Amino acid sequence: MPIVTPIEVTDDELARVHFDGDGLVPAIVQDIADGTVLMVAWMNEESLRLSLTEGRTVFWSRSRQELWRKGETSGERQWIREASYDCDGDVLLFRVEQDGAGACHTGNRSCFFRAFGRGVGATGAGTE
Amino acid sequence: MPIVTPIEVTDDELARVHFDGDGLVPAIVQDIADGTVLMVAWMNEESLRLSLTEGRTVFWSRSRQELWRKGETSGERQWIREASYDCDGDVLLFRVEQDGAGACHTGNRSCFFRAFGRGVGATGAGTE
């Protein structure tokens, strides 16, 4: 298992994050090794705090309305190496080491496996 | 100026994109040269079609409620080299050549210049 690297944040830093009307903020997950954008999911404040404390991604499932520890059942955990927020504080970016085959529930390494201009069902761009 | 590479899409492909209740979908912009995640902005169907046709990013400004050709005034245009959509069709990813100093209105190359765990105002992660 990769070494866990918790990130200690201050309340001032967390106050920079703007959660939407549902208390959520989108989080991009990127492979730190080669830069592949793996997926986007949602976090509420609790899942953001847990992610930083536990050093792995924890999201809020909008469909199930519950915390979702990425890889808890699949083993495809994401170990956070860097975490940042954008200039408006309304998008998060996590640079991770991805366990297992990948991030996507389809079995693809990245969720962005369908490229425009290649027809429906084709794959290519975004997976590097 | 970089060579423009329009992407021809079919209506079937565009039908895979799920716009939200406001008719918008978030679009991640990534530097194709080194993988830096530059920014996230919003597109409606018109701006998505224009982006693919013109080969450069065109967004929908939620604050101004109008089309926004990235770099039209600043010169910091983004030339699209690959465009993809995620497994749920609710996030877009554009891999681009970035003109000028960068993507962020703050003058930073990436909007994700603030890392958690380094205190408010510190920079670092995400800018590579």
Q: Which two tokens stand for residue B117?
A: 């765990």
For residue A13, the surrounding DSSP H or E stretch is: helix A11-14
ipTM of the shown complex: 0.92
Give me the mean pLDDT over the A58-73 stretch: 96
Note whether B9 contacts A117, CB cutoff 8 Å: yes
CB–CB contact B116 A13 (8 Å): yes
Neighbours of B54 (CB within 10 A): 16
DSSP string computed for A54-86: HTB-EEEETTTTEEEETTTTTS--EEEEEEEE-
**Binding-face residues of A in 6-35 toward B, CB within 8 A:** 7-10, 12-13, 16, 26, 28, 30, 34-35
Confidence of residue A53 (pLDDT cuts 50, 70, 90): very high
Give B1 or A52, the one with higher predicted confidence: A52
Interface of B with A in 64-103 (CB under 8 A): 82-88, 91, 93, 95
| Identity of the amino acid at A115 | A
Say if residues B31 and B102 touch (Cβ distance below 8 Å): no
* Residue A27 · residue A94 · CB < 8 Å: yes
Q: Which pLDDT band holds residue B125 (cuts at 50, 70, 90)?
A: very low
Q: The whole model's pTM is what?
A: 0.93
pLDDT at B110: 98
Pick from A106, A114, A109: which is nearest to B85 by CA? A114
Q: How far apart are CA A35 and CA B31, in angstroms?
A: 10
| Residue B89 C-beta-side C-alpha neighbours within 13 Å | 13
Largest CA distance in chain B: 47
Band of the pLDDT at A118, cuts 50, 70, 90?
confident
- Can you tell me the distance from the alpha carbon of B52 to that of B4, in angstroms, rounded to the nearest whole number? 10
Asked if the model's pLDDT at residue B124 lies above 90, the reply is no
Quick check: B122 pLDDT over 80? no
pLDDT for B127 equals 40
**Rounded CA gap, A71 and B66, in Å?**
40
**Across chain A, what does the average pLDDT equal?**
92
What's residue B2's pLDDT? 75
In chain A, what is the greatest distance between 2 CA atoms, to the nearest angstrom? Answer: 47
Which of B8, B57, B84 should we substitute to test contact with A (largest number of A Cβ atoms within 10 Å)? B84
Amino acid at B53: T
Confidence of residue B75 (pLDDT cuts 50, 70, 90): very high
Comparing CA positions, the residue from B49, B71, B84 lying closest to residue B2 is B71
Q: How far is CA A88 from CA A49, A108, B51, B114, B120, in A?
A: 19, 31, 23, 10, 13
